[in-house]
Structure 1
Amino acid sequence: MDVTISPAGLRAVPELSYLTAQNVARYRAIMRFIYVEYQRLKYWLRPEEIYNGVLAWGVLDNYTLELCLSDLESLKGWGNLASRHDGGRALSLEEYMRKKSQYLLTPYAIEIERMLETLEKVKGYGGSLETTYFDTIAACIHEIRENAMLFEPGKALLNWEKLYEAFKTMHENAADFIASIHSIQAEEMMATEGFLALKDSLTNYLQHFVKGLQRSAYRIEGQLLRVGDGLRDVYLEKVLADEQTKPRLEQGKSAEELWLEYRQGWNNLKRWFIGDEQEPSELTLLEKATKDTIAKIVRSAVRLQERRRGGMSRRNDLETLGRRFAQMETLNDAHRLAAYAFGLFPSRHLQGHDERDTESADVSAWQVPPNVRLIRTRSRKRSNRTSAEPMRTHTAKREAYREQMKAQLEEEKAFVELMKGMGETRIAHLPILKPKERMRLLQWIGRCTATRARSFVTPDGYQITVSLPDDEEAAVLRSEDGDLTMLNYTIQVTEGVTLHG
């Protein structure tokens, strides 16, 4: 993104001086009172009104009208206030002798007070993950594609303001929400027991956002790719024309500045959803950050549950076991109970690969055949020299694995040839597939949709290309183990791609 700045953008900001001045409390009280009156549509104020209003708050001690007049002139010198002569009649000699003025907030001062008012309401990062913004953006871009040449006066600017406001709000809220998850307060909260009650709702919230993002955001990406440079310029020219028809009493931005601003805004929108050659899109980064946040929440919950289990008291269990020992009539029965409760004390731990016939948890250890291990003696006595043990060979296992891999490669090659023979085909036109063929086809679709080119090349040189349906048409992928409803993708397998090292 090309960023330019003018010398005026590097100047000092004297309008902020009253926030760090020595009498900051007096200045802020005056500015806040004038700003509150400005919100009530009362713009020009006399010094007496300002003094009485600040005095009524009761936040300043020993404050006089003379100090108020001095503060007003200081604020005027910094550029926070503008003044004009008050032509009203004087009601006393003191008023007649004093220079009478009325004061008004400058545009800079209004924005500063508005910022301070917002900062006072900040409680953490805030933010949210809402998928409704994606629907608004998609609707606006769809309207641009359909009616860019037919926008009535004023409609193009209304569409642009709605589009860019939704995009800006969505981006800022998402960034703030993800940042709040990684804040120190969130880290401390995730380490408390109360987090377990919040874990499920927070995880569902994030998963709902990821699903909405995958459903709507990639549709926006496809629509943006269909808006060419010519259509974009026509649309932005109509937006510029609508903006210039607004009556303004002050000098605003020139047509060239507005055009560059709209072009930059459109480029920001396109880069956020599509990306560029140097870096991936912000959409991809947001999806990854959301998934990482879900994983972080799950890990924190698992640690809490493990800590809770590890800190459980076994006092009742031990007392019950002690009573059982006290009830034993013979020492042999006590030995048997100890063996059941604590195991064999003089035990040896053997390390090695446990060869099991089944992974079922219901199978008892007594039902599994034993694993024979040769144990060397630790005796210091010299034993008779035994015959050398032969070297173990794994040739049979390697051959079995090689045959398995050859069969798998043959199945993959046969499926590629099958898809290549069909040419460019859609999901709805495919025959009934075997389970392995269905899994392989879904892997192809997943790899293609994860790339911008919507294609990839197999190690054998075949190029797999997947195209999205224009109207989001649904189709049923039939296989021997069931049916799957999905988008009616178009799949094409071509041969002859040359791979370069």
Structure 2
Amino acid sequence: MLDLSIANQTLRSVPELKYVNADNVVRYRAIMRFFYQEYKRLRYWMKPEEVYTGVLEWNVLPTYTLDQCVSDLEQLEEWGNLASRHDGGRAATLEEYMKKNMQYLLRPYSIEIERLLETLEKVTGYGGSLESTLFDSIAEKLFAIRSMGWESSPEVALELWATLYDAFKRLHENAADYIASLQTAKAEEMMVAESFLIFKDRLTNYLQNFIQALQRSAYKIEGNLERIHESVRDMFLAQVVNTELDKPRLEETPSPDALMAELHQGWSNLHRWFLGNGVTPSELTLLERATKDAIARIVRSVIRMQERKRSGVSRKKELEHLGQWFARTQKLGDAHRLAGLTFGLFQTRHLQGEDLRHSDRAEQSMWDEAPTVRMLRSRSRKRTGKQDTEPVPENEERKRRERQFFLKRQAEEWEAIRELAERGRLRISELGTVSVQTRIRLLHWIGRCNSAPNHAFVTPEGVRVAMMNAKTKERTELISEDGELHLPDYEFVFALTEAARQAAVTTEGGT
């Protein structure tokens, strides 16, 4: 349900923006820009005479008068851009005091509007950048949050959150802008120009360095986020809220619930950006994919330009010189070396045939082996004569054998898993001598459990395998038919899912 207080605040009309598109926009913009520049010089309350003199110095309003300036200031005050107060300090008589001598102050909304307009004036494209150091900063701050204790000062928590979220916003906004700049029509025109060949190495190295930093730090960030439990997160955000509320404010202090909701939303944005929401890929994955696509586009553009340059050049003299070079070689080995240096490795072709070696000597050259004769069909579309049709091969017998072999292997796999699952609980040290297949299966289970966040997974047969002591220090020895393996004494707990129980009943009924 929509919060009405939020709706009234954020969805209202903005009269403070009227001066940007008003009829006398040049006069209003000049006054507001003068106020903003003086605000940055720490001058706040301005008199109409000071505003009038400052605007005239720009020579943009040659026929401007003081009365017009006073009228414009009153209009801007009516729109909410300026605040005013009566200036009676210089009055010497009662008449001078009663006369309207006002001073004007820029309001907070107007400050942000002028700051936005000043930023927009500098925009010439998407801009942005790929700052790889931000990944290290985010990973470092997340590790610091994970390592915080209850005795940490709230000021430290506020500083950590401010640095973390500022780095996250810069990373997201700058990377999005930079990748977008590579998709513009100007970038497409640049990539087909000859001058791009000089610039492409720097651009490619820039993108590749960013990808390497992303891949190097992404696992640290994801691991720290997964290890920060909700209790640690709530404790950390509560300290941030308390420190923020302790600041002395002249404006209205936000409520603790609203501030906590805002911080939770920021943390959710950070978590979704790096880990996703379980349905769609994370923004980090999309950024990596977009950067790789940009590198691929650059490489394709360079290849096309090089091919266009080579297409119009005749290589007849080069080929004639190379042919004479081959003709002068006296030995076949020299010709092979020359071909290797000239053409490199040819594309491999896999030809079916029986390898009948006459010697087991490892140092024997492939050129000394007897050739394997294999008849090749012509790929030419031109028919040289009548060709006999070949019947479609009958593969039913081979399919039947493969099906029987698969069912037999599946039954053996299920039987082995069922025997282990019937125990309910299994420790490596309790096993005797096991087969090679069982050893491979156990190692596969250990790898799956160690990589899962909760140290558990479900097999394709519907058996849930959970490792109870993933960080055990006890060691044991697994004896298999093909050797001995020293490893931690892990303990597994097995549980059949409903689908696995039904499969077991069906298997027993069929048996």
TM-score over 0.5 for the alignment?
A: yes
Alpha-carbon shift at residue 462 of structure 1 (Å) = 9.5
Partner of 1:475: none
1:265 aligned partner? 266
Number of the residue aligned with 2:71: 70
**What is the aligned partner in structure 1 of residue 120 from structure 2?**
119
Q: Which residue of 2 aligns with 1:151?
A: 152
Deviation of 1:207 after TM superposition, in Å, equals 1.8
For structure 1, list consecutive stretches of 5 or more residues without a partner in the other structure: 322-352, 363-367, 379-385, 427-443, 471-490
- Which position in structure 1 is the counterpart of 2:250? 249
Q: Does 1:419 align with 2:440?
A: yes
Q: CA deviation at 1:30?
A: 0.5
**1:88-113 deviation per Cα after TM superposition (whole angstroms, max 9, x unaligned):** 32589997785100000000000000
Cα distance between partner residues in 2 of 1:250 and 1:495: 60
Secondary structure of 1:6's match?
helix
Amino acid at match of 1:122: V
What residue identity is the alignment partner of 2:38?
E
* 1:351-390 alignment, distance < 5 Å: none
1:57 equivalent to 2:78? Answer: no
Deviation at 1:8, TM superposition (A): 2.1
Give the 3-state SS of the residue equivalent to 2:60 in structure 1: coil
5 Å matches for 1:9-408?
9-90=10-91, 98-310=99-311, 312-314=312-314, 391=391
Q: Is the 8 A contact 1:423 1:492 kept in 2?
A: no
Give the Cα separation in 1 of the matches to 2:209 and 2:463.
37
Give the share of equivalent positions with the same residue, in percent.
50
What is the one-letter code of the residue matched to 1:59?
V
Deviations 1:126-164 (A, max 9, x none): 111112112222222222222241221422111111111
AA paired with 2:441? Answer: K
Match of 2:417 in 1: none
Report the count of equivalent residues: 410
Q: Any idea what SS the aligned residue of 1:296 has? A: helix
- Within 5 Å, give how 1:467-478 maps onto structure 2: none
Residue type at the aligned position of 2:119: T
The whole-number CA distance in structure 2 between the counterparts of 1:494 and 1:251 is 57
State whether residues 462 and 494 of structure 1, in contact with CA within 8 Å, keep that contact through their aligned partners in structure 2.
Answer: no
Q: Structure 1 186/458 Cα, relative in aligned 2: closer, same or farther at 3 Å? A: farther
In 2, the alpha carbon distance for the partners of 1:52 and 1:192 equals: 51
Q: Which moved more, 1:368-377 or 1:297-306?
A: 368-377
Say which is worse superposed, 243-252 or 72-81, in terms of deviation. 243-252
Residue identity opposite 2:212 in structure 1: K
Aligned CA RMSD, in angstroms, stands at 4.7
Change (3 A) 1:179 1:91: farther
Q: Which consecutive unaligned segments of at least 5 residues does structure 2 have?
A: 321-348, 354-366, 368-372, 414-434, 472-489, 504-511
Distance 1:113 1:161, change over 3 A: same
Q: Which residue of 2 aligns with 1:478?
A: none
Q: Is the 8 A contact 1:15 1:79 kept in 2?
A: yes
Separation of aligned partners in 2, 1:85 and 1:388: 108
Normalised by the length of structure 1, the TM-score is: 0.68
Could you list the per-position Cα deviations for residues 345-372 of structure 1 after superposition, in whole angstroms to 9, with x for gaps in the alignment? Answer: xxxxxxxx99799xxxx9xxxxx99956
Aligned to 1:486: none
Cα distance, 1:492 vs structure 2: 12
- Residue 35 of structure 2 aligns with an amino acid whose one-letter code is I
CA deviation profile, 1:390-448 (whole Å, cap 9, x unmatched): 658698xx99xx9xx99xx99xx99865433557768xxxxxxxxxxxxxxxxx99xx9
Q: Look up the equivalent residue of 1:276 and give its one-letter code.
A: N
- The aligned amino acid for 2:153 is E
Q: Which amino acid aligns with 1:140?
A: K
Cα distance between partner residues in 1 of 2:59 and 2:38: 18
